Amino acid sequence: MFVPTGETPPPFKGYTLILPAVSVGNVGQLATDLIISTLQLAKVGHFHTDALIPMVGNNPYATSSENAKELSTNAEVYCSKELKLAVLQIRAPILQAKTKEFRKTIVSWIKSSGFSRTVLLSSSHAYQRDDQQMQGTSLRFLLSPKLEQEASQRIKELEWREMEKVSAFPGISDSEKKLYIPGGGITRALYNDCCNEDIPMAVLLTFCSEGDNIPDAFALANYLNDWLHLLSTPADRSPQWNVPASWKLLFGNGIPPAIF
């Protein structure tokens, strides 16, 4: 359930919603961090749900000692009225027994809020690609039928590659194909939910491996910006994303020199 910070919820009707999937390398969450930090989005509420592992921490987007003391939780919503943009950042894993319930909550909120489109940022295991997925860029997209009517021409101009379907029975029969996103968390299920509910949704994802996934996050954020133009940049330059203060703690402290 969405709980607004103020007394009245923000008017999300006509807004674009961006949210990450908790997936391999946490790439979607890292890319979402870049968007919130760079655009300096204001926090407008949080999600109250028992489907996510509880957590609390300091402000991940702190810019001074004063606002560093603000608390953040496992699922918070940020917004820009000027850009008509809402961002849901998810900072904790989804409990396995509650994934279906969580998807229903998200779909219900999307429908009741009147978002014009939803963009899910995700990732998939690079080592489980088939031969066709090994070619070209590691970035892929999916569009729900409802969004395809609106965005297909722009996507065609960008020359993006759609996420390929793979053989349901590899080595036995290639006649039956299925959408397979290993390591993508709820990506495929939420995408199918939105297709069934006639919700305009795009999935932007990248193939990656666990490790230092900061470059993957920048690549996914740039991929999104090519479409939505969240940041205005010259054609010959990449967007300048602001790294949030919390990224200093991604890999913990350095190796103590005393051990040598």
Question: In the chain, what are the domain boundaries?
Answer: 14-248
pLDDT at residue 251, as a whole number: 75
pLDDT at residue 235, as a whole number: 65
DSSP for the chain, please give it.
Answer: -EEESSSS----TT-EEEEE---GGGHHHHHHHHHHHHHTPEEEEEE--SSB---EEE-TT--STTGGG-EEESEEEEEETTTTEEEEEE-SPBPGGGHHHHHHHHHHHHHHHT-SEEEEEEEEEGGG--GGGGSS-SEEEEE-HHHHHHHHHHHHHHT--BPPPEEEETTTEEEEEE---TT-TTHHHHHHHHHHTT--EEEEEEEE-SS--HHHHHHHHHHHHHHH-SS---TTS---PPPPGGGGGTT-S---GGG-
pLDDT at residue 69, as a whole number: 85
Q: What is the CATH number of domain 14-248?
A: 3.40.50.10900
pTM for this entry: 0.92
Question: One digit per residue, pLDDT tens: the chain, 260 residues?
Answer: 889 988 777 889 999 999 999 999 999 999 999 999 999 999 999 999 999 999 999 999 988 888 888 899 999 999 999 999 999 999 999 999 999 999 999 999 999 999 999 999 999 999 999 888 888 899 999 999 999 988 989 999 999 999 998 877 666 666 778 899 999 999 999 999 999 999 999 999 999 999 999 999 999 999 999 999 999 876 667 789 999 988 987 877 777 788 77
pLDDT at residue 188, as a whole number: 96
pLDDT at residue 133, as a whole number: 87
